[in-house]
Amino acid sequence: MEHHLALATARDVTEFPIVGDIDTGGWDLRKALLLALKGNAVVVEWLKSPIAYEEEAGFRSRLGALLDLIMVPEKVAAHYIGLMRQHFKSDSEGAIKLKKLLYAVRPRPLRSNGCGSVRFARCRR
């Protein structure tokens, strides 16, 4: 709680060393929600993942309901398109690394109603 009241900003990213096949990381809730407002759907991907290392009862459903209200499918689509362009542009001179390729193609293709692999309240209309 103290770091939220301090004048100096605290680190808002949690990172751990990659061990074997496990590549973990996360964001402070404030950062995750601000990025979600901009169309970054990584927090939605995390929310929909069947893998949870630790979980507080009811948090996933409450966060999902909030994301249904604040996420804008058009911003999410623009975010994924930008990611794909960025990944392929940076490796235009050589072989594409597998991890970058998987990051670029991980979202399902967007359906014609502007919704991706996640369910948004605005898409149900």
Q: Where are the domains of the chain?
A: 2-124
> What pLDDT is attached to residue 123?
45
Q: Is the pLDDT of residue 116 over 70?
A: no
Q: pLDDT value at position 63?
A: 92
Q: Is a pLDDT exceeding 70 seen at residue 97? A: yes
pLDDT at 56 over 60: yes
The pLDDT, as a whole number, for residue 66 is 93
What is the full DSSP assignment across the chain? -HHHH-SSPPP-EEE---BTTB--EEE-HHHHHHHHHTT--HHHHHHH-S--SS--TTHHHHHHHHHHHH--HHHHHHHHHHHHHHHHHHTTTSPPPHHHHHHHH-SPPPPTTS--SS--GGGG-
